[in-house]
Amino acid sequence: MPSTTRTTPNRYADRMRDEPEVVRQILDEALVCHLSFVVNGEPRVLPTLHARDGETLYLHGSTGSRPMLAARSGEVPVCVAVTLLDGLVLTRSQFNHSVNYRSVVIHGRARLVTDVAEKRRSLAALVDHVAAGRSRDSRPPHDRELAQTSVLALPLAEAAAKVRTGGPADDPEDLGLPHWSGVLPLRLVAGVPEPGTDGVAVPLPAYLREYRRQR
């Protein structure tokens, strides 16, 4: 993906990764994104679910939410960020403390998905993003439900990843200080599935056993 003035960072340029497959992997692993837009000149940001289908990112929303309303009358400038935390990086100096992470920022103009076939496909992608295979093991939306849901589509044309990996990086003069340094790895894990209390008669499906985001 080509660099633009919007995707070129001012600092830590060595953390930039613009390979499309890195961008895709991060988007596919992250469960939520943060969608920002402008209302009356003021910034807004909210968390929402996303799903990637090829080079398009679909964003889930309720019909009455502000970006969805704005998108009714044309494309909406948005910026979307996705962040995965991989570890805390503790150094002897406070200054060199850091975080291991993988993030993607996408700039672009989002359009409201109005084509019914694309809307159904994008909603299935959103369900499958949360749990791969779930769309084939759940009831697709009725027309009325379809009308109550809005989906935005954002091209991945202007997307860039930033990745920090590795250990602590203390300055040489700090190495003798009496403080622990290292990495505390972090990951999102699933606990024991809790069936609903409304009479679930079906065993836990395979795609929810040993659930993990990392691929």
Cβ closest to a copy of itself, residue 24 vs residue 34: 34
> Kind and range of the H or E element at 146?
helix 143-147
Residues in the interface with a copy of itself (CB under 8 A) total: 96
Among 1, 16, 49, 163, the residue binding a copy of itself under the rule CB under 8 A is: 49
CB of 97 to a copy of itself, least distance (A): 6
Q: What would the two tokens of residue 92 be? A: 């002897």
CB of 149 to a copy of itself, least distance (A): 7
**Paired residues of 104 in beta bridges:** 82, 161
- Piece of the chain touching a copy of itself by CB under 8 A; list 19-27, 51-59, 91-99, 153-161: 91-99
- Piece of the chain touching a copy of itself by CB under 8 A; list 18-26, 51-59, 101-109, 111-119: 101-109
Residue 38 found at the interface with a copy of itself (CB under 8 A):
yes
Give the Cα separation of 152 and 114 in Å (integer).
Answer: 9
Residue 107 found at the interface with a copy of itself (CB under 8 A):
yes
Residue 204 gets which letter from DSSP?
A: P
Buried-exposed string 51-90: b where 16+ CB fall within 10 A, e elsewhere: bbbeebbbbbbeeebebbebbeeeebebbbebbbebbebb
Q: What would the two tokens of residue 203 be? A: 């065993």
CB of 24 to a copy of itself, least distance (A): 19
Q: What are phi and psi of 15, to 5 degrees?
A: -90, -10
- In the range 125-184, which residues lie near a copy of itself by CB under 8 A? 127, 130-131, 134-135, 137-142, 145, 148-149, 167-168, 170, 174-175, 177-184
Residue 193 found at the interface with a copy of itself (CB under 8 A):
yes
Give the Cα separation of 83 and 74 in Å (integer).
Answer: 28
- Piece of the chain touching a copy of itself by CB under 8 A; list 19-27, 50-58, 152-160, 194-202: 194-202
